[in-house]
Structures are given as C-alpha cells and as structure tokens.
C-alpha cells in the first residue's frame, strides 16, 4: 500500500522506476490528501517507468461524487510534469480516482504496451491525459475506462498514436479548447492503426464557441476501425457540456 509520493528532480543520471508487483492506494479517498496526485514524477530527465500494476481503489471516491457530497478534488494515479526523455512501458493502471496517466509540460515521452482499466461509469477517469507537451508517442495500449481513452489538451503538439484499442470509453479526444481567451492550440496529431469498440465517441475534436487564440491544425486520423461507437467522428465547435452559461447563450 502506498500513500501519495513525489519523486523530485533534477537528477544527474538515468533513472529506472521498476515495479514487479502490485501497488495499491489507500482504501478511503480522503487518505490521498488534497495534492491531486498519487505518484508524481517532477522535473526528471531520462526516466524509465517499467512494469507493475497500480490500483488506486477509486470506487470510494466515485461513490462520493455520485452522492454529490463535498468530496476532495480527486487524484491522478501517475503524473509526469516538466520532464524530458521519458519511457513508460508495460504498466497496468486500475481504478484511479481521476486520470490514470497524466503528462503535463513534458518533452519526448514514449508510452508503450500499456493496459488501462476502470468501470464504464467511473467519472473523469481519462486513460491518458496530455497537456502542454511536445513529442509524445503512444505505441500500443488497451484502454477501457469511464471517460476519454486519450485526451489531448491545449499547448500540445507532435503527438503520434498507434495501436490503441479503446473501449468502453469516450474515444480519443482533442480538447476541449478555447475555454480561455488566451490559450495555446494543438497541432501535428497523428492517430493510426487503432480500434474503437463500444465507445461513446470514436474520434473527437471539441472547442468552446468563443473568441480565443487557441486552434487545432494538422490532424490526421488514419486506418481506424470502429464498432458500436455512438459518434464515430464528431467535431464540435460549440462545446458546452452542461448547457449552462454557454458562450452566446441568453439566460432566462
């Protein structure tokens, strides 16, 4: 059992974080504290994360969310921030409170041979969530979760995704973008040779309908098989998930 932990850099040499067994989080969601992270890697270079099963036991937190009680913000299972030349290979992530794997402000990250799973109705459990990063490659992953299998957020460019089996889940999504007036865009995203099965969406681009500096350009979806995907391809430029205080909406 592991409570929240942070591995701080910078460090002077290559690092290997190797797990051969199973790591589990605390049973009660409040034991994770308020940091928003379970396992955090920060300002590291030439890091390899290899193997192991990570089970955050998030059902207690999902139940709190469902009851509309005052819960904590929730934690991401594995987060990598401001790091460079990172390899994540052969890990298995189960039942996070929120995201399974988050990549934020990173350069040159390879994610390979991943298995990611959470129940279909688990809220906000993105499989891989990428923000403000460059040079991200996902090569082979099975993702079954309650939200986006892969989510690509503002400030991300040069992303290559191949060999992903997604479903159940909400598909592969770019956005949402344009929530803020001054916001970075997304460019050079290539998704190939992947499968969507029983997903809410297949391939999705979503942006808020307001004036913004954000953008999406140079995106390729190629050789994607979809089976029982409710919205196989959806491009939504008036994204407003709860239909409240939407841009241009007149409240009555």
User: Where in the sequence numbering do the catalytic residues fall?
Assistant: 170
List Cβ neighbours of 192 (8 Å cut-off, separation of 6 or more).
161, 162, 220, 221, 222, 223, 224
Structure tokens at 234: 């959806």
Helix (H) or strand (E) holding 64: helix 59-66
Determine contact, residues 171/199, Cβ cutoff 8 Å: yes
How many residues does the structure list for the chain? 252
Distance of CA 27 to the CA centre of its chain: 23
CA 243, 101, 37, 107 dihedral sign is negative
* Alpha carbons 193 and 139: distance in angstroms, whole number: 10
Tokens encoding 185:
């865009």
Cβ atoms within 10 Å, residue 186: 24
What is the spatial distance between Cα 103 and Cα 31, in angstroms, rounded to a whole number? 24
* DSSP, res 30: G
Of all helices (H) and strands (E), which one includes residue 175?
A: strand 172-177
What CA–CA distance (Å, rounded) separates 149 from 143? 6
Beta bridge partners, 81, equal 42, 104
């Amino acid at each position: 059992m592991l409570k929240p932990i942070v591995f701080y850099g910078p460090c002077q040499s290559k690092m290997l974080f190797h797990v051969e067994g199973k790591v589990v989080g605390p049973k009660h969601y409040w034991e994770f504290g308020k940091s928003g992270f379970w396992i955090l890697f920060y300002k590291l270079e030439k890091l390899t994360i290899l193997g192991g099963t990570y089970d955050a036991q998030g059902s207690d937190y999902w139940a709190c969310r469902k009851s509309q009680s005052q819960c904590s913000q929730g934690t991401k299972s594995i987060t990598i921030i401001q790091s460079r030349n990172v390899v994540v290979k052969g890990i298995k992530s189960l039942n996070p409170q929120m995201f399974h794997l988050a990549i934020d402000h990173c350069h040159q990250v390879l994610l390979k041979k991943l298995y990611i799973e959470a129940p279909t109705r688990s809220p906000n459990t993105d499989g891989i969530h990428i923000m403000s990063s460059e040079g991200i490659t996902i090569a082979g992953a099975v993702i079954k979760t309650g939200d986006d299998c892969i989510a690509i957020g503002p400030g991300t460019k040069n992303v290559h995704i191949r060999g992903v089996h997604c479903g159940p889940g909400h598909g592969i999504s770019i956005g949402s973008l344009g929530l803020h007036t001054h916001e970075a865009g997304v460019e050079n995203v290539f998704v190939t040779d992947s499968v969507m099965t029983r997903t809410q969406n297949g391939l999705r681009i979503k942006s808020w309908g307001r004036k913004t500096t954000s953008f999406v350009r140079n995106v390729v979806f190629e050789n994607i098989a979809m089976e029982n995907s409710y919205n196989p391809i959806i491009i939504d430029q008036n994204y407003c998930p709860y239909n409240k205080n939407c841009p241009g909406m007149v409240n009555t």
